Chain A
Amino acid sequence: MREFGVFVPFAGERVAAVLTVPDDGPRGLMVFSPGPFAPRSHRFQVWALAAQRLAEHGIASIRWDYPGLHDSTGSITEIGEDAPVAEAMAVARFAMAATGVDRMVAAGNCYGAHASLALTADLPECVGAFCILPECAQAGPLKSLLRRAGGRKVGAFIRSRPMLARMARPIRRFDVGTRRPVATSLEASLTRASVIFVYDEAHLRTGPTDFTKIEQRLPELPESSQARFELRVLAPMGLDKFRSVDVQRDVLTTLVAWARDRLESPAEERSPMSLTTNRRGTAT
């Protein structure tokens, strides 16, 4: 295995990346996009270790930092809603040219999952997206209205009064919308590529990662698209920060097996919308 530190030119900036290639010619490529708060190697070197494991199976990889973060040049004051698909595209094309492969998969967590999904939707060479804890939900119309009216003060006011907070809880549960960019990218990706959403039990049904809204939309998709989707629940908790060695190991094992499978087999042979778990999970 060999690793090359590189700067990928993008819109006047330089995107910092590490390209990992196996000793023999690679048979595919994986593009790792991190969450915005972690460098490209990610917490506890999870992406760096994944790159090593993939190289052992003949798969090249590139991990990169968003412009304005870590070693990349540029400046960024806040992270927007839209996934950085143009940047991911530049990195993917650079890596494919450097390694000489024309078949790739994308992986990422949180914001990186959105980037991976958007990349899969837009890049024909991308045959799959491995998305860890994608944020599928967003504030519903009521919460959005309150935010527009009084900023975050209204929410803070309600939260600080236990009685009001208790009354607002059921409303909050129903006042959840689908995160449109994620839903759009997912539907576009599934027309020709495989997508796996990886969750832990703690994040599957709550907060911004709530999978429910996407789950409700999936049956509306064509059967061929449904067959390309997989939901995997890996652990009870701790996936958001790769908190334990167990979680890291589970992610790595799942990711490497999935990447090998995707880059080896062109055809999809799976029952519609398979839901699997390797522990006592809710999905079966």
Chain B
Amino acid sequence: VTEYPVFIPCGEEHLAAVISVPDGPPRGVVVITGVPGGPRSHRHQVWSQAAERLVAIGVASVRWDLHGLYDSTGSAPEVDMRTSLVEEALCVARFAQRATGVDTLATAGNCLAAQTGLALTAVLPESVAAVCVLPPVLGEGAVRRGVGHAVRPKSWMGWVRTRPIVRRLTRTAGGIGHHVRAPLMQPLAPALGHAAVLFLYDEKHLASRSRAFPKVRRLVGRASADQQARFDLRVLPVQGLDRFGTVASQEATVDALVEWVDQWLPAGVTPSPAARSR
């Protein structure tokens, strides 16, 4: 594996990234996005290991930091989950395509990076696969949102948490009016139009996620049979996926990512127009 640390120009900033390439011509390139809680290598080098494993199947990758975080330049006083950073991801994807000489892409990331990867896949026809680790599916329920607006949220939540009966009641009421978050819902259908999408979860918080999964399946159910065949939601038999806290969760994630990319990326090389002209 050959790795190149680079700074990718994007607007007035420079995004820090590492491009990993196999010895021969790559089959495609996976754009791996970092998150505020983990740099581009992510906790316990999970994305670095993924890059190494991808290289072993002939796939290049670029892992990068959001602007204002880690080695990237700029400043980010806060990161808003309501918007996916597609412009930055596009800068990285285009740079990686030019650098590796291939058009075909896939995306990967967790949490905010999962929705960013999905949004990138939706706007890039060259993207054939997206691996979304723990994408935050549900927005605040209508009841909780209404109450939260009416009273100061923190004091209200504190009061509720200290009273078990009220907590149990609000848990039920808080589930009413839950909806799939727009940053996830909007790109999912366009992404499935041309790419395969994998949602990965672990066994933690399965009870609360039991509300989310049917909503996602209902959303995917509206798509054509072809598109439905390109979607998978997997619950990995591990715990601690949110922080890659266990070796099992790290290995299971990398295995699933490599398998999904290997399955959906074409076996042959599809050189980019720039590479063809060279």
Stretch at the interface among A2-10, A148-156, A233-241, A272-280: A2-10
Q: Give a binary string over A168-198; 1 marks a CB under 8 Å from any B CB, 0 the rest.
A: 0000000000000000000000000000000
* Contact of B6 with A by CB under 8 A: yes
* Contact of A40 with B by CB under 8 A: yes
Chain B's nearest CB lies how many Å from the CB of A12?
Answer: 14
Q: How far is the CA of A41 from the CA of B39 in the complex (A)?
A: 9
| Complex contact A39–B7 (CB within 8 A) | no
* Contact of A214 with B by CB under 8 A: no
| Complex contact B18–A71 (CB within 8 A) | yes
A contact residues around B41 at 8 Å (CB): 39, 70-71
What interface size band does chain A fall in?
10 to 19
* Contact of B5 with A by CB under 8 A: yes
| Complex contact A41–B70 (CB within 8 A) | yes
A contact residues around B6 at 8 Å (CB): 5
* Contact of A14 with B by CB under 8 A: yes
State which residues 173-190 of B face A: CB under 8 Å: none
A-B contact count (CB 8 A): 48
* Contact of B16 with A by CB under 8 A: yes
* Contact of A16 with B by CB under 8 A: yes
| Complex contact A70–B39 (CB within 8 A) | yes
* Contact of A256 with B by CB under 8 A: no
Q: How far is the CA of A14 from the CA of B3 in the complex (A)?
A: 10
* Contact of B263 with A by CB under 8 A: no
| Complex contact B71–A48 (CB within 8 A) | yes
Q: Which B residues form the contact surface with A (CB < 8 A)?
A: 3-7, 14, 16, 18, 39-41, 45, 48, 68-71, 73
Interface pairs A-B: 9 shortest CB-CB:
A5-B5, A39-B39, A41-B70, A70-B41, A41-B71, A71-B41, A18-B71, A71-B18, A39-B70
A and B contact pairs by CB, cutoff 8 A, 17 listed: A3-B71, A3-B73, A5-B5, A5-B16, A5-B18, A5-B71, A7-B3, A7-B5, A39-B71, A40-B71, A41-B71, A48-B70, A69-B45, A70-B41, A70-B48, A71-B5, A71-B48
